[in-house]
């Protein structure tokens, strides 16, 4: 499996977190439905393992077509956004301490 790094957000005006999801969706429309993609906003993401070293195989062990990163804390609570916190979907993964979904990393099947 080859890894191609493509910056899909360069020169895209940032108008909020939703812009990265819209940009990703528009990009995925041009890919083969059998492809597996790895999206990262790369602002505060660190790879601790080379993606070429079995990442695709590891993704398959999740047995889900789409996997999001998670985090321990919900930062909107700190910004007086309690309503958002109450509606935020919680992770049901085995690592209960990482219960808040985060769109910093998304991996999945295109089709």
Report pLDDT digits (tens) over 48-60: 778 778 888 888 8
Rounded-to-integer distance, Cα 38 and Cα 56, Å: 9
Helix (H, G, I), strand (E, B) or coil at 94: coil
pTM of the predicted structure, to 2 decimals:
0.73
Q: What is the spatial distance between Cα 43 and Cα 19, in angstroms, rounded to a whole number?
A: 15
Per-residue confidence (pLDDT) for residue 46, from 0 to 100: 74
* pLDDT surpasses 70 at 71: yes
Residue bearing the bigger pLDDT, 55 or 85: 55
């Amino acid at each position: 499996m080859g890894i191609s790094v493509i910056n899909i957000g360069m020169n895209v005006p940032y108008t909020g977190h939703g812009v990265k999801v819209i940009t990703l969706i528009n990009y995925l429309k041009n890919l083969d439905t059998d492809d597996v993609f790895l999206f990262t906003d790369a602002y505060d993401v660190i790879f601790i393992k080379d993606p070429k070293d079995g990442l695709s195989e590891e993704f398959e062990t999740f047995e889900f077509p789409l996997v999001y990163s998670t985090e321990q804390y919900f930062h909107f609570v700190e910004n007086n956004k309690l309503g958002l916190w109450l509606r935020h979907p919680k992770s049901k993964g085995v690592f209960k301490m990482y219960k808040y979904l985060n769109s910093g990393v998304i991996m999945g099947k295109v089709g």
